[in-house]
Amino acid sequence: MSIILQVSDLVKRFGSLTAVDHVSFEICEGSCFGLLGPNGAGKTTTIEMMEGIRQPDSGTILYRGEPLGEQFRNEAGIMFQTTALQEFITVREIMRQFSRFYPHSASIDDLADRYALHEFLDRDTRKLSGGQKQRLLLAMALINRPRVLFLDEPTTGLDPQSRRNLWDQVQQVREQGATILLTTHYMEEAYELCDEIAIMDHGRIIAHDAPDALLAAHFNDVVVQIHAADIPRDIGEREFQAIYRNDSAHILTGDVNRTIAQLLHFDIPLDRLRIRARNLEDLFLELTGRELRA
Amino acid sequence: MKWSRIYALFVARNLEFVRDRSSLAWNLLLPVLIIIGFAYAFNNENPEKFKVGLVVHGELQGAAAKFRETRYIKFIEFDDADSNLTKVERHQIDLLFDAASKRYWINRSSPNGYIVEKLLIAAYADSPESLQKSLVEGDEIRYIDWVIPGVIGMNIMWGALFGIGYVIVRYRKFGVLKRISATPVTAMEFLSAQILSRLWLLLLVNVAIYVGMDLFIDFRMYGSYLNLLLVFVLGSVNLICCGLVVAARISSEEVANGLLNLFSWPMMFLSGVWFSLEGAHPLMQKFALLLPLTHVTEAARAIMIDGDGLLQIADHLLVLGLSSVVLLWIGARIFRWE
């Protein structure tokens, strides 16, 4: 696959804070690339520089081998984390306005069909629900039939149904050949949608690979989860490497048979036992820590 | 520049304006209410009962000095008589007196002129024959005739400054500008669309106000409507560009509000909208010339009241045109999407 976007040694400072610190990566055409990280990690600043909204202090961003220019503007679709729309105009009117910005644009009716906009096509943009607004913003980002689509935390604040629905729509866009760059807080979303992810923290990329490859590289254990009250605390601390969260005890083990044999040996009931593989959230917390970010 | 993009933004902004009914009603009603309120409240009464123009070079002596001491008359000093005769014709002053030649001019149909003439003759009781009387003719300019060009200019000023400044700052604050900046639209296309939309809406609203007022108030319009339209177009562009400069970078509505008020209130009171700056401190008169609304008001008044043509108001048009170009250049240079 050819490289569609290439970021080299990108730096952005705000006063004494280095928000993006010598970041480099490449995105292959037709892939979905996820940029993950805690609040303030530099994801949005990075994506905004790649969108051409913000100027980097140093470093280069190339689209199809060229600096961002007219071709990029015409071929990029962008959905920001938060966007206010012009007031007192309808969904149809705002889509018509945006379609006129581009030399080639998709049919408004086709987009309305695909993203279920018909029921509110003639409604004032101020009167849309959160899910409806996200669908409209996605449709607006796709109005120029983009070759590269930027989605900055597209499902933040959505209910589970709307989130699933948006994932399906993003998958459809991908199937049509567009390249997607996604930032998200939801690890499940990144795992579901992305071919490749980069985890950022303090302005730097601290891990970068395909999700399964990252998990394989960092973990060789699984989580055995049982009810915490069922384990006498002294036994747990002596025999297991366990993490207690609320009512659960999470035992990290590379040998499930041995762990279960131990639990049986101590007469610990297995009624509520769950075994799960390590996931991106575990990896994310392991790499970025558990302290709360502003 | 792509016209399709400018057109798209132009249409969207027009729709926003027309559908924001409370704002639209305010734009239409405010000037009408002001004119009704002020024009009829003043009821053609000047706060100073009598006004006399004095052509004087050096100290006044004898009877002229005695006349100058008359109380309850506002004396305005002029350098020459000829260029101020129109003020007598229009009843802006009741009598014009040249102290050197002892010649005076009054309007044949002015009751105030008749009374002030009696006071002048009384001051020259020792030698009344030395005074030379000249009569001029001309219709009285009522306060309403005089104030209407200024009020329309003022309405343009509010609409231009706040209509464009506030909208752009609000767009920036809530991220509308950021979303547009992520498309192929250039800053110049965006600004052009905002200028065109605001210009068109200002003209539409103010023509409606003019026509509406003309139906109910018989005010004076001696000049060309096309020339008047040209003054309002140039004035609107100039004031819109002022709004652009204010809104070019800031993203706080409070700061924008303060700055726009800082621009607009001096113009409200020092551009000669409500009262003539004739007789005001020379520094204030010079400062007034820096204000675009002064040029809009004076040019519109010259057309409506005197029937002046483009040549007579060329200086105002030139100032408005040139400063618009400079302001637009500055606005476009310092404009930031975010």
pLDDT, average across residues B13-41? 77
What pLDDT was estimated at residue B48?
A: 58
Rounded Cα distance, B73 and A38, in Å: 78
Minimum Cα–Cα distance from A74: chain B residue: B184
**Mutation for testing the B interface, residue in A45, A90, A100, A124 having most B CBs under 10 Å:** A100
Within this chain, do residues A42 and A113 fall inside the same structural domain, yes or no? Answer: yes
What pLDDT was estimated at residue A291?
A: 62
Give the domain extent around A258. Answer: 220-277
What pLDDT was estimated at residue A228?
A: 82
Q: Which residues contact B84 (CB under 8 A, 6 or more apart)?
A: B53, B55, B78, B93, B96
A101 closest CB neighbour out of B16, B171, B184: B184
pLDDT at B47 over 70: no
Within this chain, do residues A25 and A144 fall inside the same structural domain, yes or no? Answer: yes
Q: B4–A52: do the CB atoms touch at under 8 Å?
A: no
Within this chain, do residues A125 and A250 fall inside the same structural domain, yes or no? Answer: no
pLDDT at B45 over 60: no
Q: How far is A26 from chain B (nearest CA, A)?
A: 21
Contacts of B183 in chain A (CB under 8 A): 73, 98, 101-102, 144
Minimum Cα–Cα distance from A143: chain B residue: B183
Distances in Å between the alpha carbon of A75 and those of A101, A105, A146, B52, B90? 12, 10, 5, 73, 66
Rounded Cα distance, B255 and B169, in Å: 10
Asked whether residue A186 is domain-assigned, the answer is yes
Minimum Cα–Cα distance from B183: chain A residue: A73
pLDDT at B224 over 70: yes
Chain B residues interacting with chain A (CB cutoff of 8 angstroms): 4-5, 7-9, 11-13, 15-16, 19-20, 171, 174-176, 178-185, 337-338
B5 closest CB neighbour out of A54, A76, A100: A100
Within this chain, do residues A143 and A231 fall inside the same structural domain, yes or no? Answer: no
Query: Which of A216, A248, A269 delimits the end of a domain?
Result: A216
B179 closest CB neighbour out of A83, A93, A100: A83
What pLDDT was estimated at residue B211?
A: 87
Query: Which of A216, A237, A264 delimits the end of a domain?
Result: A216
Within this chain, do residues A142 and A224 fall inside the same structural domain, yes or no? Answer: no
Q: B176–A51: do the CB atoms touch at under 8 Å?
A: no
Contacts of B8 in chain A (CB under 8 A): 96-98, 100-101
A88 closest CB neighbour out of B11, B15, B337: B15
Q: How far is A76 from chain B (nearest CA, A)?
A: 8
Q: How far is B276 from chain A (nearest CA, A)?
A: 41
Within this chain, do residues A234 and A183 fall inside the same structural domain, yes or no? Answer: no
Rounded Cα distance, B244 and B248, in Å: 6
Would you say A225 and A218 are in contact if contact means Cβ atoms under 8 Å apart? no
Asked whether residue A294 is domain-assigned, the answer is no
Rounded Cα distance, A264 and A200, in Å: 42
Q: Which residues contact A267 (CB under 8 A, 6 or more apart)?
A: none
Tell me the count of A-B CB pairs closer than 8 A: 70
Within this chain, do residues A241 and A260 fall inside the same structural domain, yes or no? Answer: yes
Mean pLDDT by 10 residues, chain A (294 residues): 92 93 94 90 92 93 94 93 86 95 92 89 90 89 94 84 85 90 88 92 91 86 85 66 80 86 85 85 79 58
Within this chain, do residues A268 and A158 fall inside the same structural domain, yes or no? Answer: no
Whether A75 has its CB under 8 Å from any CB of chain B: the answer is no
Would you say B103 and B53 are in contact if contact means Cβ atoms under 8 Å apart? no
pLDDT at B182 over 70: yes
Asked whether residue A54 is domain-assigned, the answer is yes
Rounded Cα distance, B198 and B240, in Å: 8
Helix (H, G, I), strand (E, B) or coil at B66: helix
Asked whether residue A288 is domain-assigned, the answer is no
Rounded Cα distance, A210 and A198, in Å: 9
Contacts of B171 in chain A (CB under 8 A): 86
Asked whether residue A292 is domain-assigned, the answer is no
CA A165-A170-A172 angle, to 5 degrees, is: 95
The total of structural domains in chain A comes to 2
Rounded Cα distance, A141 and B34, in Å: 46
Give per-residue pLDDT as tens, A278-294.
888 888 888 887 665 65
Q: B16–A102: do the CB atoms touch at under 8 Å?
A: no
The CATH number covering residue A270 comes to: 3.30.70
Give per-residue pLDDT as tens, B102-151.
899 998 888 888 999 999 999 888 888 889 999 888 777 777 888 889 98
Rounded Cα distance, A94 and A101, in Å: 11
Within this chain, do residues A267 and A195 fall inside the same structural domain, yes or no? Answer: no
pLDDT at B254 over 90: no
Q: Which residues contact B45 (CB under 8 A, 6 or more apart)?
A: none
Per-residue HEC secondary structure of chain A comes to: CCEEEEEEEEEEEECCEEEEEEEEEEEECCCEEEEECCCCCCHHHHHHHHCCCCCCCEEEEEECCEECCHHHHHHEEEECCCCCCCCCCEHHHHHHHHHCCCCCCCCHHHHHHHCCCHHHCCCEHHHCCHHHHHHHHHHHHCCCCCCEEEEECCCCCCCHHHHHHHHHHHHHHHHCCCEEEEEECCHHHHHHHCCEEEEEECCEEEEEECHHHHHHHHCCCEEEEEEHHHCCHHHHHHHCCEEEECCEEEEEECCHHHHHHHHHHCCCCCCCCEEEECCHHHHHHHHHCCCCCC
Rounded Cα distance, B259 and B265, in Å: 10
pLDDT, average across residues B70-94? 86
Q: B178–A87: do the CB atoms touch at under 8 Å?
A: no
Contacts of B338 in chain A (CB under 8 A): 53-54
**Mutation for testing the B interface, residue in A63, A81, A86 having most B CBs under 10 Å:** A86
What pLDDT was estimated at residue B278?
A: 72
What pLDDT was estimated at residue B280?
A: 75
Q: Which of B172, B175, B193, B14 is nearest to A89 (CA)?
A: B14
Q: A86–B176: do the CB atoms touch at under 8 Å?
A: yes
Query: 88-117 in A: which are within 8 Å (CB) of B?
Result: 88-89, 93-94, 96-98, 100-102
pLDDT at B236 over 80: yes
The CATH number covering residue A30 comes to: 3.40.50.300
Minimum Cα–Cα distance from A92: chain B residue: B12
Q: B182–A85: do the CB atoms touch at under 8 Å?
A: no
Give per-residue pLDDT as tens, A143-177.
999 999 999 888 887 788 888 888 888 888 888 88
Minimum Cα–Cα distance from A126: chain B residue: B16
User: What is the rounded end-to-end Cα distance, in angstroms, of chain A?
Assistant: 38
Contacts of A100 in chain B (CB under 8 A): 4-5, 7-8
Q: How far is A195 from chain B (nearest CA, A)?
A: 25
Q: A89–B16: do the CB atoms touch at under 8 Å?
A: yes
What pLDDT was estimated at residue A282?
A: 83
Burial B172-193 (b: 16+ CB within 10 A, else e): bebbbbbbbbbbbbbbebbbbb
Within this chain, do residues A179 and A240 fall inside the same structural domain, yes or no? Answer: no
DSSP B84: G
pLDDT, average across residues B269-274? 85
Query: Which of A176, A194, A216 delimits the end of a domain?
Result: A216
Out of B120-124, B304-308, B319-323, the most confident range is: B319-323
Model pTM score: 0.77
Contacts of B7 in chain A (CB under 8 A): 100
Minimum Cα–Cα distance from B179: chain A residue: A83
Contacts of B337 in chain A (CB under 8 A): 53
What pLDDT was estimated at residue A238?
A: 63
What pLDDT was estimated at residue B153?
A: 93
pLDDT, average across residues B186-214? 90
Within this chain, do residues A135 and A254 fall inside the same structural domain, yes or no? Answer: no
Within this chain, do residues A19 and A164 fall inside the same structural domain, yes or no? Answer: yes
- Delimit the domains of chain B by residue range: 3-41+142-334, 50-136
- Which range has the worst mean pLDDT, A207-221, A279-293, B65-79, B172-186? A279-293
What pLDDT was estimated at residue B97?
A: 93
